[in-house]
Structure 1
Amino acid sequence: MDTDPATGLVAALDIGGTKIAGALVDGEGRIRVRSQRPTPAREDGETVMAAVEAVLADLAASPLWESAGAVGIGSAGPVDASRGTVSPVNVPGWRDYPLVERVRRAAAGRPVTLVGDGVAMTAAEHWLGAARGHANALCLVVSTGVGGGLVLNGRVHPGPTGNAGHIGHVPVDLDGEACACGGRGCVERLASGPHLARRALENGWRPGPDGDVSAVAVAAAARAGDPAAVAAFERAARALAAGIAATAALVEIDIAVVGGGVAGAGEVLFAPLRRSLGTYAALSFTRNLTVVPAATGTDAGLLGAAAAVMRADAAPDS
């Protein structure tokens, strides 16, 4: 669906393991109405869907709802855009779940476009953020999991199922731990927030009086010089650098944009990431790769889901 960039309005859903966010987004990328619910990730599939329907009901209560001609979804993956199904690793109640059909029904028959959350973030960054103007880019979400998406030849490239660029499940440790995806030694197993924090705890880091054991707390400890916290971020950075370098060798990207909660650590992550990239990206055509923070922030998923509907270069390959 092509939407008038000046006046078009679409509904957007950003579905992850922690929250389900929704918004009405206009053609200039402005969020006009928003809603959010926690994801009941450990409940059954219908309970999760009820939370999605509650977010859509909030949007439908707005007078602007009637102007929204379609729905875009960026979902934790893997997704299968060709079948309209999702099987998020961190939402076990959804396996081959017919999300597109269910959202279409809840949205009164509006057309629905589905992409993975990494592709959604990529579409947002290419439309409005740090990848804007770049013809070849990798965008990463480093949070509860690690996702990603690609821009190739000036277009977002979701691939046939909407999962292309999913760097989180690129193996970088041949003898590494088993990953929830079924693989072993994946980037996500080394660099996601929960695994980064677990590594810090295993190596001697201890939380403060509040008991916070999140990656945010580890980042604060790393900034204060705690050696186990610093080492945990350096290890995560090496894993990310190896995945980014492998991607650059395959498809010749010139920029890697890193967002998500773990990226909020700032130079605690980016300094060792850039150092490690210098080691892994050694070929002449990968050596000048730039790594920058994402610019669209916590709204990247919503803006990217909207872009999947509005922008032809974000539409799934047919």
Structure 2
Amino acid sequence: MSREQRDALDATLRSAPRPETRPTPEEQRSGFAAAVTRPAPEGVVTRRTVLGGRPTLELEPAEASARGRLLYLHGGGYVIGSPDTHAGLVGELARRAGLHATSVDYRLAPEHPFPAAVDDGLAAYRELLASGTDPRDLVMAGDSAGGGLSIATLLAAREAGLPQPAAVVVFSPWADLTLAGGSIRSKEGADPIFTEADVRAYADLYVGAGDRAHPLASPVFADLAGLPPLLVQVGSNEVLLDDAVRLAGRAGADGVEVTLEVGPGLPHVFQHHYGRLDEADAALDRAARFLTAHLSAGRPGAAPLEPVH
């Protein structure tokens, strides 16, 4: 992998101007959209639909399997981001896995604080099952806050008596809104994007005076027993490193099949930088293989899905 690519990305991320006063949520949303939005990859068709009462973006690769389905929850601290800002990332994962993907435009804070996002994730998941999607043909993924939300959605589904999907992948999950992980402070200098204050501000907007240790807000404190096989990918140069490590540890302790990958010298959701960072492409390939392997494993005797690279 390329040290030059990692160094160049770190320098680029650090060069982003930091305002003297914290922008409003609306300003943050427009700035985030301008900075990170990448279009869906060539050969991936998109269309707008509704699922669970929320707008969604459907992404269908040209060589998508007839049966596999990916439900994706985007990142953004529960305050910013959308299916449009993540169309490139979701489309790349869907294309490499050969899966039809649905990216949910869940409600954002502060207009819609916790647990609105969890309610929307669960509603989308519930409707997929109710419409006839076999849970053995369904996988989930999410990044950052969407990673924590993916786990929270599956916890809510478990409590509702719904079956679990075949697998779940999370990129740099934000899984502890109490900010108890040591890396929140120890990695602040290494993280080119976030400070502890940044993360705390998002938690303030999402949970406010509520219980930040609630299992559906901070899945590191949840009983994860019964969740599907889990892949956690995180960079070593991010304040949320310990969220990922502790989530994987909690999952393992609760009997969940879990794989943790820590990318040395990599920033938050480094997978966004596919096509210009070798580690991002390799990580997306591994995530795609993980998802398709568990889709195949859910149906004994079924031919394995072939990821599209």
**Bigger-Rg structure (1/2):** 1
TM over 0.5: no
Q: Give the TM-score of the pair, scaled to structure 1.
A: 0.33
Give the TM-score normalised by the residue count of structure 2: 0.34
Task: Determine which structure has the larger strand proportion and give its number.
Answer: 1
